[in-house]
Amino acid sequence: MGEVINFPQRKTGEIRPSVPIRGLSRVEAAAVVGVSASTFDRLVSDGLMPSARQVYNRVIWDVVEVNQAFDCLPHADSNNAFAASASGW
């Protein structure tokens, strides 16, 4: 969780690289999950990803919630030993 994520759309002087990013734009949240923004929208509407938080006129996704939701997604191969184990290891 302490991993620093560098997104190209953030301006260089806007945030120090050593500061972990907590709030994500829609495009950034989709990138964290590894899908397009439109697929991320579908995941949100289907309840598989969290909804955004509202900060004035901005909508921001919590990277912790996005990561937790990703952990709950099913594995493609349910017969996989990793997927079948309770701890994942």
Q: What is the pLDDT of residues 8-67, one digit of tens each?
A: 555 545 555 677 789 999 999 999 999 999 999 999 999 999 999 999 999 999 999 999
CB atoms within 10 A of CB 17: 10
Whole-model pTM above 0.75? no
pLDDT score, position 18 = 72
pLDDT score, position 27 = 95
- Helical ranges in the chain per DSSP H: 26-33, 37-45, 63-72, 81-84
Asked if residues 69 and 29 have their Cβ atoms less than 8 Å apart, the reply is no
Give the HSE-up count for residue 66: Cα atoms under 13 Å, Cβ half-sphere. 25
